[in-house]
Every structure is written in structure tokens, then in C-alpha cells.
Structure 1
Amino acid sequence: MTQLDSKSMNIINDNIEKLKQIFPEVFSEGKINFAKLQEELGTFAEDEAERYNFTWAGKSEAKRIAQTPSTGTLRPCKEESKDWDTTQNLYIEGDNLEVLKLLQKSYHKQVKMIYIDPPYNTGKDFVYKDNFKDNIKNYLEITGQVDSEGNRLSTNSDTNGRYHSDWLNMMYPRLKLARNLLKDDGVIFISIDDNEVANLRKLCDEIFGEDNFVADSIWRSTDNSNNDAKQFSSDYNHTLIYSKNPAWQPVKISDSAKQTHFKNPDNDPKGAYFDGNPLNSPNPRENLTYDLVSQTGYIIKPPKNGWRWSKETIQEKIETGEIRFTEDGKAIRRRTYLCDMQGLPPSNLWIDLDKTGHNRQSKYELLKMIPEDIFDTPKPVKLLKYILEISGTKEDDIVLDFFSGSATTAHSVMQINSEDCSKRKFICIQLPEETDGKSKAYKAGYKNICEIGKERIRRAGEKIRTDNADKDLSNLDIGFKVLKLDSSNIKTWDSNFENLEQNLLDSVENIKADRSPQDLLYEILLKYGLDLTLPIEEKNIHGKIVYNIGYGALVVCLDDEITIEVVEAIAEYIKSQVVYDEEKKKRHARVVFKDKSFADTNVKTNAIQVLKQFDIDEVVSV
């Protein structure tokens, strides 16, 4: 019986396998011949000192961290969730680096849009350093961010010689892992201020590719300037946009409020129109410099650069009515119909406060739901809705935010779904950073940022339904599953020979004593790379609980004292759920038991043979 691997996807091994498929000739005895690889890529040795290279202190270690598999897991927390059995949304608590590693199998190339508002490098508290162990309390202590009593220790002061390097080392592995989750037509939006925008641009050029840079959009973040500014009032933030594919196009936005110049004074059957005169050619050519004769016999000379089209093409457009002579016959106009307008490319200057909101507005939004004034820097829902629109999200696309903060992204996804009746899904990830003991949030009962985010989602969803009482929003998903980062449910071997006897006794039961079957079930989903919101049916078979995940995609039994009768009954149940594949002569079902579940070793051995008789050949133990 195969043992389930307790680590997350090994990105290095996965990349090597992909490389083998493309360039099998560069492998010798299982290793890469880099000289041959260079030849296959048509590159030549360069003088490294003269080559452009973006680097910083700790970059190699940041790369290594991105490639190191996680040994953690995500534990379900049903009591803090909403609509657990039906929701397709996830709220995950934990260090986002480890969580992103754990999501690599389940959500590889599944995310349509990522939005993040990472910590700005201001020289104040800077908590993201990477060394995960067990849970968040241990994580913060190990990384020197808090002492044993939970008091914060670390800052990223601008007097620190690694001021920029520390920030880049935090961002690099997270962006590297995030890129793997984007669909081929996916896109990422990153909010940032002036302190690190130049470095972030170079970092994203390296990770996503220079060709995939889309825009540096300027968002006007305030509705009034700071009169106390020493030099210039900082009234904006940057939003760096990178696509997974250079062919990606944003959705064109049709702004009817700015199209009031379209009229229909002569009752044109095609509707409102605008008679413009953009007929001059941007590229002057000799064959485009010709005269036109109007209906009155007036000779119309070409513009300085010539006409936009050939004489034949203009004649065709005159016949269709797209191009018309003025009443006096001394000029021509091109008629553009409003019904033909497909919208305009979005501008990278986001200064329309009605469209993208501002920071003061976002504070009011949060105060309407949680009046205690508990979060300082939320982003406005309007901004995220605009990003959701121009990024092309629709239907059941997945939206990811791994610096979730006050959960504006989740709020915005629910809001836009209520407006266009789509079923976009969100995954929010947030470090449960403790709130300051003197803060309004702490005094209001919110001990960490995650508690703020979860409460906002609960209240925002209900408010959306209340505000739209006249609409049928019964299918609107305003729930979320809460999962929390922790160490694996499976014990690791302790090689401490001083405690050898105890270690041998502990290894008899390899599942940690404080973990539930549901904890172990979700770790199995992660290792198999299954969607964490798949439907899970519980079935009682001969007194044992059997989990049917994704309508037979995976069947799991984690009870003890499993007998052959139970195994046969599980096999019969799978037969009723999973269609037999005639071509491959088996059922596409995977069955998982605990390693110590079986009544004795004979049952364990015979279980595999029984399941094979039912054409099930993938049986795994944990």
C-alpha cells in the first residue's frame, strides 16, 4: 500500500520533469548538462560583469525558500466559517508564503486574477520573515518578531543596511509562487507606493517577464491634498499590472456618462451617433493624397498627411453612409454610432473618484459595517470592483488576495457578483497578526487582523442582501470556509536517541493525538491537489465514516478496526458512485485509509486485493 507524501508539491522536481520533456538531450545520468542546455537555447558565454543583473543581499536564499516544499497543512475551522457545506470561498489564516506553497497542487493555473496590497516599506513594523514551524505563535517567536510574551521586537528601520533587501526577500518567493497559480490568461494587480515601486517593477520583470508588463496605473488615493506636506503632497498610489501572457487584453469599459455627445437629431435608424472628422492618415503615403468631389461639385483637398483610406475604400464608406458630406458640400464627416462602440481601453490614470474611490471613502465603508474604527488603511470597494471588471473576471473565476487585510477583495467579489449574477470565488490569505493592545480594534474585541477580515465578510454579505431585498440573490455565495495553517497532522520521526523508546512507541500511531479526522481529510485533499471547496459527502458504512469527495474522485476512511467486510462494503459503494472506464479497464477512484486503521496485517494485505477485484488500483495509506 502506497504511503501518502506529507510534503507540498516539489517545485524543483516538477520543473526538471518539464525540462526533460522539452530538452531530453541535455540530461545525462539524470543530471542537467548546462553547457548543452545553453547550446540548445542558442546562447553563448557572456562576461558576467558586463551583463545587466538585478540583485540584492539575500536573493539566492529567497529563491531557495520559494523552492523548498512546505511540511505544513491547513486545518478546517468550521465554527468560524459561514455556510460551510455550500460555499466556494476560502479564508485562510497563516503566513502566506507557506499557504501559497500548500496551494500549488490544488490551484495550479486556476486563478484568473490576483490582487495584493502588500506591506509598504515605510520603516515601521515589518513582520514577514520566513521560517515556519507549527503555528503562528511559534512562527513569530522563531523569527524574532515577538518575545515569549508576545511583545513585538522587529522593525525594518531605514537605518538598517538591508532596508530594501529585506523587503525584496519577503516579496520574491511569494510572487514566484503566486505566478504558478495564475491561469494562462490571468493577471496580477499590485498596489504599492513610491518607496519600493522601482524595485518592485524590476522584481516583477524578472518573475513575470518584461514582455508581460501591462501598466503602472496611478490611482488617486485621496480626495484632498495634505496641506502639511513638507515638499509635495502624496495623493496617489501605484498599481503595477502584469499578465501571465503578453497577449492578454484588459476589458474595455464603455462609459456612457462620457458619451453624451452622441445624438440622433435626424432619427437615424441605427440610433445615436457622432459625426467626427478623424480622416487624416497617421502615415502619409502618396496614394492617399487625392481630391474628393462633393455632391455640390466642391473639390475637397486631402489633409496634410493624406486621407486615412484609399479612394476606393472611402467611396464604399460614402455609399454605406459611414462617411457623409456636410450640407454645404465643403467637408466630410465620419459617422460613429454609439451601438457600435465597444468601449475604450482603460486608462492607466485612475483619477475618477466616482469610479475607483479614495481612502477616506473606504474608511466610511468599513465604519458602516463595523462602527468601532478598527482598521487604518482599507482599500475602497470601488477600486477593487473596477479591477475585477477590467481584468475580465466573470462566471466562476477564482480571485486571490494573499495580503487580505480588512478583506476588501472578498467584499468586492460578493458585491460585483450581486450586480452581474456571476459566481466568482475568492481565496483570501492573511497572517493573523495581533492587534496592538492599545488599539481600538483590540478594545473592540478583535485580537488579530483575521478576526477583522472575517467579521467584515460576514457583515458585508448580509448588507448586500439587505440592500438588494428586491432582487433574487438566493444563489449569491456570501459564505467562506476558514482554514488555518499548522504543522502536518502526521508525526515526523524524531531521531533523538535519548528518547528512543518513547519515539518507537509514538511511531506506532503516526497521527498526532490532537488532530481530528477532518484535519487529516483536508491534508489529504491538499496532497492530492483537489479543490478545497469540493462537495464532501459523509456515508456510514458498517458503522465506519466514509468521506466521498467530489462525487467519487476520492474516497477516504479514517476510522479504526477496519475489517474485510468493511472494505468490501466500501468497494460496493465506490462501484455505485464511479463509472467504469472501459478503455483503461478500471475505475478512476482513489481510496485512502489510515496506516493503522486495519484490524490486523492480514486485513491490510487483503484490502488491496479486494479493491482490485472492483477495478480500483489506487489505494493509499497515511
Structure 2
Amino acid sequence: MEKLKMHSPDLSQDNIAKIRDLFPSCVTEARDEATGKLRLAVDFDLLRQELSDSIVEGPQERYRLDWPGKQEALMTSNAPIAKTLRPVRGESLNFDITKNLFIEGDNLEALKLLQENYLGRVKLIYIDPPYNTGRDFVYADDFSESSDEFLQRSNQKDSSGNRLVANTTSNGRFHSDWLSMMHSRLQLARNLLSEDGVIFISIDDNEQANLKRLCDEVFGSQNFVNTIIWEKRYSPQNAVKWFSESHDFILVYAKDKLNWYPRLLERSADMNARYKNPDNDPRGVWKPENATAQAGHGTKSQFYEITAPNGKTHTLPNGRCWVYTKEVFEKMVADNRIWFGNDGNNVPAVKRFLSEVKQGTACQTIWKYSEVGHNQEGKKEVNQLFPEATVFETPKPVRLLKRVLHLATEADSIILDFFAGSATTAHAAMQLNADDGGNRKVISVQLPEATEENSTAWKAGYQNIAEISKERIRRAGKKILETESHPDWNRDIGFRVLKVDTSNMKDIYYRPDELSQGDLLEAVDNVKPDRTPEDLLFQVLVDWGVDLTLPIRRETLQGKTVFFVDDNALVACFDTGITEELVKELAKHEPLRVVFRDNGFVSDAVKINVEQIFRQLSPSTEVRAL
């Protein structure tokens, strides 16, 4: 029976497999110095020969972004981790029916754990990372250890609250540490984007230039869409030495620019007010547009005199031509699409009907606070939800995130924010769903960063940022439910809380190439005593790449607890003493996947017969052991 691997994907091996698809002769097998096992390896000498016309080596000058620690950051982003996501029902809201996730923990580890579940499924990623102002905290990733050391360390109990360190300007690696932190996370985030997906990243002047170069490298400069200027303040700050900063940037990159285009914005009332109907045209309101164009763009057939229905002759101004040929123009007049004024003496104009123009307008790259809100508006929104404390100083306003969501998502899109912070993204998604009846789903990731001691948030009982984020979603959702909403909205204001934690397995560090039957025999009971069957279920969901928001049903069959995920998408039983009769009963459900605890069978004979039973009763079922 095949065993689950119990760690995140080894992306370096996946990348080698992709190279093998392009250059089969350049991939071979080599013995891992640490384990003595054979693994896929790249023959770089042969690969260089294959790419000899274009490869750049050694000290030769080239265009690239480099910093101390870049290679280690790339290695760490690819290295697998033996961690899991543990469900916490007590901190969740509508756990059994919600399609939203809140993942508490290091976002690098969370992104690794989501690689198989959400690979190529996320339509929009929005992040508001630390701006690296010299007062911000950055993740203290350890880029000095080997992949094996990283795998082992990631399987130990650590205090994730200690993963943040102050990145002051006196740090000799001030920019390098920030770039390393962002590089590994963006690399993993790109994998999750769908082919028509897009990422929006808020940033200020401190790292905007570096972030642009970094994103050019991760997403490809050809997939850069635009830099948006957001007017974040509505009044100047006079107590400054140089300029009063009124804006932030939002960088926009598509997974594939040719596959993603922003939706149009709704037309404003002012735009529509320009359309009138002075002649009571049955086709509705219209506005006059110039019937001439620059002469240099016209042909001979566009130079002629026009005689209006009242007999008046109209000639062209110097340097102009008519926008239509004479034949087309006469047809337009006959169809009442040319306007000569109420008395017929006006210069001819083309009637542009509102019903025939785009029912929207292209979004501009300068976003005014009057349209999308400002920092003070964002702070006011959070203060209204948290009257007992000032929990965030500069949260993004909901209107800003609603603009991003409107441009980049459809009604059923998956949205990811792995620097969740004040949870404005989740709030905005719920609000937009309530407005248009959508079913957008949000994955929020936040480290339990400790609140500052003696701060108003700390005094109000909030020990870390993740607690505030979750409470903001609860309170915002409740408030939205109290207001008028779209009749088609599913009213999903919940979220499943999953916490990044050590593996459910007892101090066993292994990868598939390190696993032997002897290891399993020695670990008769290889599950930690404090882990619940639901903990084990979610580790299986992560390991097997199953959607983490699917409905879960728990049943008791023959005295054993059995989980049914989305009915028959996955069936799991982690109890001991499993009999052949129970295996046969589960096989009759014909699940797509089934998983048991490795030492859960009543006898070795039953364990041996499991695959045979499913082969007979449900041949399409994948059978695995934990």
C-alpha cells in the first residue's frame, strides 16, 4: 500500500523534471551525499553545451538583479518542509460550510503547504508586505542551512512569533534581507496563479524600484501590466523636510499578460449625464461627436461637401476630412444618425448612442482617494469595528480592495492574501459578494506576530496580529449580514482556521527516497499523542492536494469514525482495529481516494487484503496509508 509523503513538494526535483522534458539527455541520476539514495540531478556541463549559443557564465557582464543571499533564498523556496495544517474549529466561523480559509503561521511555510492544493487555481493575489522603512519587521528566514537541515528544522516545534526581526537601516543587509524574504514567497506565489491570474502588490518608494526588478525576474518583464499610483492621503503633511508623500504604488503583474485583461469600471452618473435625447430618438439617449478627423488620416473619398436636410451646405475646415466616405455618410443621414441641430443649421455631428458604447470604462493608473479611499478612511473603518482599541494604524480602505477585486476577479474566483494583516482583502471580498451576488473565496495568511506590549490592542486582549485579523473578519461579516445584499449571495462570511504546525508524525523526518519498510516497522504508533483524527485528515488533504474547503461529513460505521470529504472525493478512517468487513463497506461507496492509518488494521492479513478488496469492489479508488 502506497504511503503518503507527509511533506510539502520538493520543488527542486519538480524543476529538474521540467528540464528533463526539454532536455532529456541533461538529466541523470546521482547519489545524494547526505542520504546515499539516488535522486534526479542535472548534468550542467551537458546543459551548457545544449544552450551554448545563449548561456552567460562567469564574470561576464549581464543585466540582472543580484544581492547577497539570493541563491540561498531560491534554494530555501524550493526545499520541502515536513509540516502540516491543523484545523482549529473553536477559532473558525461556520467551519463546516464556509469556502474561505484563514491560515495562521509563517507565510513561506503556508505557501509551500498550498502548492499542490491550489496549484494554478488562484485568480488574484493581493499582498501588502512590509515596506522596509527601517521600522518594519521582516521574516528571519535562515538561508545559511542546507535543504536537509531546513527540512529537519521545519519538523521541530518552533515559536513562530520569533520569526520576525527588526530590519533597521543600520543592518548591513538592509535591502538584501528584504529581497530574500520577498523572492522566496513570490516564487511560490507564482505557482499558485492560474494562467489568467494576476498579482497586485502594494509598496512605497523604499523598495518600489527593487520590487519592480524582482517581479520582472519572477514573473517575467513581459508580464508587467502597470504601476498604479494610489492617492493615500487627502491633505499635505507640513512637518516634513522634503516633500509630503501623498501616494503609494501598486505593482500589477499577470501570470501571462496575453491571458489577463482588467474588467471595465462601471460608468459614473456624470458620464451617463452627458447623453441626452433632444430629438426623441427611439434608440435612446445619445451625445454628439465630431464628424471630422485630421486630413492626413483620410482618403480622397472623405473630402466632399455636405448638404443638410434643410438645404444648407457644409464644407470642411482646413486640415480636416469627414470621418466617413460620402456614401456611408448619406446612409447615416438616412438612418437619423447625423445631427444638424434643432434648426438644421449646426455643423454635422455623429450621434453616439449610450446603448451602443461600452457599458464601462477603462481603469486609469492614477487612483484618487475620492474614488477608492485613503488611509484615514481605512483606519476609521477598522476603528468602527473595534471601538475598544486602535488595532491598526494604516490599514487599507475597503474601497481600494474592492477596486482591485472588481478589476481582477470573476464571481467564483479564488483570492489569496498572504500578508493578511488587517484582513481588508477578506472584508472587501465579502462586501463585493454581498453587492453583486458573487461567490469569491479568500485564503488569508497571517503570522501570529505579537502585538506591542501595553499597546491599546494588547490591553484589549489581542495578543497577536492574527487574532485581530480573524476578529475583523467576524465583525465585518456580521455587519454586512445586517445590511441589504444581493438576493443571489450565498451569505458566506465564515472561514476555516488552519494553523501551520509540526508534522502529526512522531519525530520522523523522511522523504519518499529515504523511506524504508524497516522505518515503518520501528514506528508502530507513529502519530503524536496530542493529534486528533481531524488533524490527520487535514494532513492527508494537504499531502494529496485536495481542496481544503470541501465539505466534511463524519459518520460512525461499525463502531469506527469515518470521514467523508465532499461525499466520495476522499474517505478516511484513522481508528485502530479496522476489519475486513469495514473495508468492504467503505469500498461499496466507491470513493476516489481512501486512506487508513498504517497500523490501524486488526491484523496484517487485513492490511494485505485492502488493495485487493478495493481492486474488486472499486477499482478506480486510490488507496493509501498514513
User: TM over 0.5, yes or no?
Assistant: yes
Quick check: 1:257 aligned with 2:261?
no
Counterpart among 382, 392, 396 of residue 375 in structure 1: 392
Does the CA-based 8 Å contact 2:16-2:41 persist in structure 1? no
- Map of 1:620 onto structure 2: 624
CA distance in 2, matches of 1:481, 1:530: 15
Within-5 A mapping of 1:292-307: 292-295=305-308, 296=311, 298-301=313-316, 304=319, 306-307=321-322
Counterpart among 239, 255, 258 of residue 250 in structure 2: 239
Q: Which moved more, 1:431-440 or 1:607-616?
A: 607-616
Does the CA-based 8 Å contact 2:573-2:595 persist in structure 1? yes
Does the CA-based 8 Å contact 2:395-2:422 persist in structure 1? yes
Quick check: 1:6 aligned with 2:27?
no
Counterpart among 201, 215, 221 of residue 210 in structure 1: 221
* One-letter amino acid of the counterpart of residue 477, structure 1: D
Q: Note the alpha carbon deviations across 1:438-487, whole angstroms, 9 max, x for none.
A: 1110000100001111111111111111122x865772101110000001
Kindly tell me: are residues 504 and 435 of structure 1, through their superposed partners in 2, closer, same or farther at Cα, counting changes over 3 Å?
same
Q: Which moved more, 1:343-352 or 1:425-434?
A: 343-352
- Map of 1:403 onto structure 2: 419
Quick check: 1:431 aligned with 2:447?
yes
Counterpart among 588, 607, 612 of residue 609 in structure 1: 612
Within-5 A mapping of 1:489-504: 489-493=504-508
- Map of 2:15 onto structure 1: 15
Does the CA-based 8 Å contact 2:127-2:200 persist in structure 1? yes
SS of 1:476's equivalent in the other structure is: coil
Does the CA-based 8 Å contact 1:214-1:241 persist in structure 2? yes
Q: Which moved more, 1:367-376 or 1:20-29?
A: 20-29
Superposed displacement of residue 70, structure 1:
2.2
* One-letter amino acid of the counterpart of residue 567, structure 1: V
Superposed displacement of residue 494, structure 1:
7.2
Q: Which moved more, 1:252-261 or 1:82-91?
A: 252-261
CA distance in 2, matches of 1:253, 1:288: 38
Question: Quick one: percent identity of the two aligned structures?
Answer: 43
CA distance in 2, matches of 1:226, 1:243: 35
Quick check: 1:138 aligned with 2:159?
yes
* One-letter amino acid of the counterpart of residue 416, structure 1: L
Quick check: 1:415 aligned with 2:431?
yes
CA distance in 1, matches of 2:169, 2:542: 40
Does the CA-based 8 Å contact 1:126-1:155 persist in structure 2? yes
Within-5 A mapping of 1:172-321: 172-247=183-258, 248-259=260-271, 260-277=273-290, 279-281=292-294, 284=297, 286-287=299-300, 290-295=303-308, 296=311, 298-301=313-316, 304=319, 306-321=321-336
Counterpart among 69, 88, 105 of residue 94 in structure 1: 105
Q: Note the alpha carbon deviations across 1:235-258, whole angstroms, 9 max, x for none.
A: 111011111121221111132223
Runs (4 or more) in structure 1 with deviation over 6 Å come to 38-42, 503-506
Q: Which moved more, 1:285-294 or 1:6-15?
A: 285-294
Does the CA-based 8 Å contact 2:83-2:503 persist in structure 1? yes
Kindly tell me: are residues 561 and 236 of structure 1, through their superposed partners in 2, closer, same or farther at Cα, counting changes over 3 Å?
same
TM-score, normalised to structure 2, is 0.88
Does the CA-based 8 Å contact 1:555-1:592 persist in structure 2? yes
Superposed displacement of residue 13, structure 1:
2.7
TM-score, normalised to structure 1, is 0.89
Superposed displacement of residue 224, structure 1:
1.1
* One-letter amino acid of the counterpart of residue 138, structure 1: S
Q: Which moved more, 1:183-192 or 1:561-570?
A: 561-570
CA distance in 2, matches of 1:137, 1:294: 85
* One-letter amino acid of the counterpart of residue 257, structure 1: A
SS of 1:209's equivalent in the other structure is: helix
CA distance in 1, matches of 2:450, 2:65: 35
CA distance in 1, matches of 2:195, 2:305: 49
CA distance in 1, matches of 2:112, 2:323: 54
Superposed displacement of residue 532, structure 1:
0.3
Provide the aligned length of Structure 1 versus Structure 2. Answer: 589
Counterpart among 51, 66, 69 of residue 62 in structure 2: 51
SS of 1:482's equivalent in the other structure is: strand
Does the CA-based 8 Å contact 1:291-1:302 persist in structure 2? no
Kindly tell me: are residues 24 and 3 of structure 1, through their superposed partners in 2, closer, same or farther at Cα, counting changes over 3 Å?
same
* One-letter amino acid of the counterpart of residue 178, structure 1: A
Does the CA-based 8 Å contact 2:96-2:551 persist in structure 1? yes
SS of 1:227's equivalent in the other structure is: coil
Superposed displacement of residue 283, structure 1:
6.4
SS of 1:104's equivalent in the other structure is: coil
CA distance in 2, matches of 1:112, 1:432: 26
Superposed displacement of residue 491, structure 1:
2.6
Q: Which moved more, 1:413-422 or 1:368-377?
A: 368-377
- Map of 1:584 onto structure 2: none
Within-5 A mapping of 1:438-453: 438-453=454-469
Counterpart among 61, 64, 70 of residue 72 in structure 2: 61
CA distance in 1, matches of 2:296, 2:168: 54
CA distance in 1, matches of 2:520, 2:286: 83
CA distance in 1, matches of 2:397, 2:244: 20
Does the CA-based 8 Å contact 2:19-2:27 persist in structure 1? no
CA distance in 1, matches of 2:443, 2:607: 39
SS of 2:248's equivalent in the other structure is: strand
CA distance in 2, matches of 1:509, 1:609: 25
Kindly tell me: are residues 513 and 305 of structure 1, through their superposed partners in 2, closer, same or farther at Cα, counting changes over 3 Å?
farther
- Map of 2:35 onto structure 1: none
CA distance in 2, matches of 1:206, 1:226: 36
SS of 1:218's equivalent in the other structure is: strand
* One-letter amino acid of the counterpart of residue 298, structure 1: T
CA distance in 1, matches of 2:177, 2:324: 56
CA distance in 1, matches of 2:243, 2:203: 18
Quick check: 1:171 aligned with 2:186?
no
Does the CA-based 8 Å contact 1:186-1:244 persist in structure 2? yes
Does the CA-based 8 Å contact 2:201-2:251 persist in structure 1? yes
Kindly tell me: are residues 68 and 419 of structure 1, through their superposed partners in 2, closer, same or farther at Cα, counting changes over 3 Å?
same
Q: Which moved more, 1:89-98 or 1:9-18?
A: 9-18
Does the CA-based 8 Å contact 2:100-2:495 persist in structure 1? yes
* One-letter amino acid of the counterpart of residue 362, structure 2: P
Kindly tell me: are residues 478 and 126 of structure 1, through their superposed partners in 2, closer, same or farther at Cα, counting changes over 3 Å?
same
- Map of 1:480 onto structure 2: 495
Kindly tell me: are residues 97 and 311 of structure 1, through their superposed partners in 2, closer, same or farther at Cα, counting changes over 3 Å?
farther
Kindly tell me: are residues 444 and 394 of structure 1, through their superposed partners in 2, closer, same or farther at Cα, counting changes over 3 Å?
same
Does the CA-based 8 Å contact 2:82-2:509 persist in structure 1? no
Superposed displacement of residue 563, structure 1:
1.6
CA distance in 2, matches of 1:374, 1:525: 34
CA distance in 2, matches of 1:163, 1:278: 59
SS of 2:613's equivalent in the other structure is: helix
CA distance in 1, matches of 2:328, 2:213: 46
CA distance in 1, matches of 2:50, 2:324: 46
SS of 1:49's equivalent in the other structure is: coil
Counterpart among 581, 595, 598 of residue 595 in structure 1: 598
